[in-house]
Amino acid sequence: MSARLALMLLCCGQAAAALEPSPGELLERAKRNRTEFYRAISEVERLAPSLPTRERLFPYLDTLEPLAEIGRGYELETLGADPVKDLGDTLTASAAKWVRLDRESPAFIRNFLKWASNGTRAMVAGESPMLISGREDPAALLAWNRGIAAAIDDLREFHAHPSVILSYEELQGIFARSLLARRYQFSLDQIRTAVEQTRSAAGIQELLIFLDLETDSPSEASDREQLVDWAALVAENSRKLGPASPLRYRADAGALVLELMVRSLYEGDAPDPRRISRLLECLTPSQIADLTVQLASLYAERPIPRKQAGYLRALVSELRTRFPAVTAPNRRRAFEMLRTRLNGH
């Protein structure tokens, strides 16, 4: 490169930078009057696609909310135009190539998704699987899951197009499969965090597979305690999906909770009575009925371990109080016999 050409490029770059108002300058000009408001926004909208780095572009995203507030003062809605929305479309479309759900803060993700079009939102989701692929570090995978969970919550709140929400839910399913494949690399707390952050039917389906596999493995009392906690989290998250949650997922999560509750007692564990209400909330009516039958059957000819008596009394009491139908005549005798035996402890 000749010295003359290098000098010309340097001068052009300096000139472009001089024409680029800083975010602070943009807001100051926008406050002066309606005409300056339009001019300042138009300048940034024109420059945004040519900004070469995220460091220069991303700060303008933080001006969108303040600009919208300024615009309301000018009563722009009476003109039938929204220049701030147009600027948001341009800025987010230009920023999409740099957006990383595993690296951005929840506040940034929320702001970006609020102003982005459905097409731009989908673009970020579409490019993420390639970035997730091959990730081995548990911390990196958890960061992705945290970002995806935040995005799903925000998109639902913003009433994004269902196909866009589905694309992020499928992303969470990809993460859940990664968790399943690498579950032994995660600590118990990390797995709990990942389960707690699951916001999608796709992710819940994968986690149910994971929990079902783990439930079949030999385990200690502490393992069973962890598993029932995770299964309860999946059941709770499934309920939070509302109409988007297939009923079979809620039933499957409840079935896991039921299986783990009964297995824990069969193995001689002494579960914490304070968790009873939470676990019963995870069960369907038919599973509640099944629980009473299994309890009566488990202790029909088996002595009640002293260390389990307190838990069983609390469990039977809550079942009779909250679910009186479980003591219907066809079950009353066996269930009442268990209650009578417990009174002797």
Average pLDDT for 265-281: 93
Whole-angstrom Cα Rg for the chain:
28
What per-residue confidence (pLDDT) applies to 110?
A: 97
Number of domains, the chain: 3
Residue 203 has pLDDT above 50, yes or no: yes
Q: If you ran DSSP here, which 8-state letter would residue 63 be given?
A: T
Let me know if residue 2 belongs to a domain.
no
- Among residues 98, 132, 162, the one where a domain terminates is 98
Whole-structure pTM value: 0.77
What domain range includes position 227? Answer: 222-240+251-345
Average pLDDT for 215-222: 76
Please return the burial class of 13, using the count of CB atoms within 10 Å of its CB with bins 0-12, 13-18 and 19+: exposed
Q: Which residue shows structure tokens 């303040």? A: 66
Tens of pLDDT, residue by residue over 32-56, are 999 999 999 999 999 999 999 999 9
The C-alpha atoms of residue 27 and residue 37 are separated, in whole angstroms, by 8
Let me know if residue 92 belongs to a domain.
yes
When mean pLDDT is compared over 91-105, 132-146, 177-191, the highest value belongs to 91-105
228 plus 168 within the same structural domain: no
> pLDDT-based confidence at 90, cuts 50/70/90?
very high
The C-alpha atoms of residue 118 and residue 98 are separated, in whole angstroms, by 17
Over the chain, what is the mean pLDDT?
A: 85
272 plus 343 within the same structural domain: yes
Let me know if residue 182 belongs to a domain.
yes
Average pLDDT for 276-293: 92
212 plus 226 within the same structural domain: no
Let me know if residue 200 belongs to a domain.
yes
Let me know if residue 12 belongs to a domain.
no
Let me know if residue 232 belongs to a domain.
yes
Percent share of the chain, pLDDT over 90: 46
